[in-house]
Amino acid sequence: MAALIVPRPIALVTTLGAEGVVNAAPFSLFNMVGEEPPLVMFSINKQADGVLKDTVRNIQRSHEFVVHIADQAMAQALHDCGHPFGPETSELDQTGLSTRPSAKVRVPSIAEAPVAFECVLHDTLESASRYVFFGRVIWLRTRPGLVDPSNLRVDLAQHSPPGRMGAGLYVKTEDVFPLHSTFAGESGVIERNDRRTST
Ligand SMILES: Cc1cc2nc3c(=O)[nH]c(=O)nc-3n(C[C@H](O)[C@H](O)[C@H](O)COP(=O)(O)O)c2cc1C
C-alpha cells in the first residue's frame, strides 16, 4: 500500500529525550490536515519487538515536537536519520545537522531545514499497528526569502523538498509542470513560469 501511494512528503521530526538528547526521525506517512486550527499528522508503526520508537516515547512524555521540511541538500542526512540509533544517540550529531532553539517549544529545531513547524500534541489515534500523532502548529519558521511577507505566498521556485517513493527511493521535486483547466477561460490560465501559489 505504501509503495503505491507515492510520492509522499517527508516530515523530519525532532523530539526531546528524557535525558535531553535531541532525537530526529523521518516519517513519510505525513501530511497537512487543515488550517483552522493548523494541524499536521504523521503515523508511526509499532515495532514487532514491542519497543516504542524514540519519537513515540518522546511525544507521549513531552507532548511537543518540531516537524521540518527538508531540501535536496539535506536528502542524505534526512535518510540517515531513519537509522535506528538508540535513545542515547542524537541522529543530528551522527548526520552533521545542527540545532537552533525553537521559538515556542522546548524541542530544538534543525538549523539547516528550510521549514520548521513547531507543534504541540493535539490528538493521538492508536490502531493495532500504529500511533498517529496530530500536531497543532503554534509557530512556523521558514528560510528567508521562501515566503513573501507582503502576501504570505511561498516562492515554490525555491522550495523543492525530496519526496519518498518507498524503501530507499526518493524523487526530486524540481521538475514541475503547469496545467490549466481545459474548461477555464483566459482568466484560468496559469503563467508558465509562475511557480508561486498560496495553497
Ligand atoms: C524517508 C523515510 C520515511 C519514513 N517514514 C516512516 C513512517 O511514515 N512511519 C514510520 O513508522 N517509520 C518511518 N520511517 C522509519 C523511521 O524513520 C525509523 O524507524 C526511525 O529509526 C525512527 O526513529 P526513532 O526511533 O528515533 O523515532 C521512515 C524512514 C525513512 C528513511
Report percent pLDDT > 70 for the chain: 93
Residue 167 banded pLDDT, cuts 50, 70, 90 = confident
Give the atom of ligand 1 at the shortest distance from the alpha carbon of 29. 8
Would you call 158 exposed, middle or buried from its count of C-beta atoms within 10 A (0-12, 13-18, 19+)?
middle
- Neighbour tally for 132: CB within 10 Å: 14
So where are the chain's domains?
A: 11-188
What DSSP string runs through 145-199?
A: TSEETTTTEE-GGG----EEEETTEEE----------TT--GGGPPPTT---B--
Give the atom of ligand 1 at the shortest distance from the alpha carbon of 45. 11
Ligand 1 site, CB within 6 A: 10, 23, 25-29, 43-45, 53-55, 79, 82, 84, 164
| Cell matching residue 29 | 506517512
Residue 9 banded pLDDT, cuts 50, 70, 90 = very high
The architecture that CATH gives domain 11-188 is: Roll (2.30)
- Is residue 48 within 8 A of residue 114, CB to CB? The reply is no
| Cell matching residue 79 | 535518510
105: left (phi over 0), alpha (psi -120 to 50) or beta: beta
User: For residue range 133-147, what is the model confidence (pLDDT) as tens digits?
Assistant: 999 999 999 999 999
CA of 70 to the centre of ligand 1 (A): 15
pTM: 0.94
Residue 42 has pLDDT above 50, yes or no: yes
Helix (H) or strand (E) holding 24: strand 22-27
